[in-house]
Amino acid sequence: MNRLGSTMLLLATAVALSTLAADAAAQEPEKEPIGRFAADARIALPRFPEDAATATTLGVTADNLPSRGLGVAAGVHFYPARLGPVALGIGGEWLLSRGSKTLDPEEEGGASGPTVNTRFSALSPQLSLNFGGRSGWSYVSGGIGWAAFTTELEDSPVADATGRTRAINYGGGARWFAKKHLAFTFDLRFYRINPQDATAGRPAYGGRRMMVFSAGIGLK
């Protein structure tokens, strides 16, 4: 399956799960509206894109670049208004993640390949449309914020970025409240990151798209 097909499949899965959450909430005998506030803390699993140009700049092959990472995500959201069955949300999200990859030796007893580290962070305000009730709801959301993306050799780190890079994000997810104030939550999000120009001690990084799945706990 190609990258577009995989992305569409994952997005369709997220929408389906979100719809199930909304349907479950709609079946409550006395559905209460979404409260005014929610916060999330989640484990994030980013999928880093392969970038042949970056690999060439670092003097490695594309398969030496990390394709997956691990991180944390946190968000705070307020729900100031309702439009019929839909609640409007205003909030923001912060993401911090990294990944690392070292190629195995080409032959037994040989030297391992260089270690390449990738770091990705993002901070973005978001608008959301939320469907469901107080005990569980699904949402779709998006926003324009800032991101930092760096891929470097562990033995030769590059300088930190000197400015902010614009990033667009969009996606969806759901929250299920097993207890009055504690929920399980998941989010599937796509980022489109603008190119980063070269600066002193730091190479240029082209624009890229990437996907982040996260899951954790929510509070209200």
Number of H helices, E strands in the chain: 2, 8
Q: Looking at the chain, which runs of residues are DSSP E strands? A: 37-47, 70-83, 86-102, 115-133, 136-153, 165-177, 182-193, 208-219
Average the pLDDT over 72-87 and give the result: 93
Tens digit of each residue's pLDDT (9 = 90 or more) over 132-143: 988 899 999 999
Written as six digits, the tokens of 167 are 């990033």
Among candidates 203, 75, 182, 99, which has minimal Cα distance to 135?
A: 182
pLDDT given for residue 107 in this prediction: 67
CATH of domain 3-27+36-103+121-219: 2.40.160.20
Q: Are 188 and 9 in contact (CB under 8 A)?
A: no
State how far the Cα of 46 lies from the Cα of 217, in Å rounded to an integer: 18
Tens digit of each residue's pLDDT (9 = 90 or more) over 142-153: 999 999 999 999
Q: Are 143 and 123 in contact (CB under 8 A)?
A: no
Tens digit of each residue's pLDDT (9 = 90 or more) over 168-196: 999 999 999 888 889 999 999 999 999 99
Q: Which of 25-34, 86-95, 179-188 has the lowest mean pLDDT?
A: 25-34
State how far the Cα of 39 lies from the Cα of 93, in Å rounded to an integer: 10
